[in-house]
Amino acid sequence: ATSGPAATSPIPSFPAVDIVMTHGPPHGRLDETSRDLCVGCPHLLRAVSRARPRLHCFGHIHEAWGAERVRWEEPEEEEEKELPSAAQAGGEWKIKSVTLCDVDEQDVLRERAAYVDVGKESACPLEWGRETLFVNASIMSRRYRPEQAPWRVDLELPFVGVEPEGEVEE
């Protein structure tokens, strides 16, 4: 097999993306190993911070299972900041705040899934373009056993290319 040059921008810029699914996490987002190392990809974080999808779902780092909401800096706030250092070049400097999504263990056992609702009717709806929900949906434990609950996420996606009568645009 031959390999060509790597894609420079495989994830389009905002507002073209609603959901991103990757094998592994972006750097600093639910990527901490049992040895306290953040092993996610800084290039992926930069791409996701540019695209600002509603949801980014991934796995791979079993011990970092969970979900968190990231609030991005406003474009004018980004411009006011100094240029990022090499350590921040992955996009972390664009993050304004992070909120971990707590789950009730009894609910997870009863429903057989962890649940997060960020839809319009939820108590705390996701702000499109301002926030991204990151979900590390690793089912496997560190011992490679399927011990962690799957995630169920409720969020609204826009209807694109559908006429009100239900006919698809061509």
- Whole-angstrom distance, CA of residue 105 vs CA of residue 134: 20
Provide the percentage of residues in the chain whose pLDDT is more than 70: 79
Torsion angle of alpha carbons 60, 61, 64, 67, nearest 10°?
-30
**Sign of the C-alpha dihedral computed for residues 18, 24, 28 and 33 taken in this order:** positive
Report pLDDT for 86. 45
Could you give the count of Cα atoms lying within 13 Å of 134 in the half-sphere of its Cβ?
30
Report pLDDT for 155. 94
Whole-model pTM over 0.75: yes
Contacts of 114 (CB under 8 A, 6+ apart): 67, 103, 108, 149, 150, 151, 152
Q: Which of 34, 118, 107, 110 is nearest to 71 (CA)?
A: 118
Q: Please write the tens of the pLDDT for every residue from 37-90.
A: 999 999 999 999 999 999 999 999 999 999 999 999 987 666 555 555 544 556
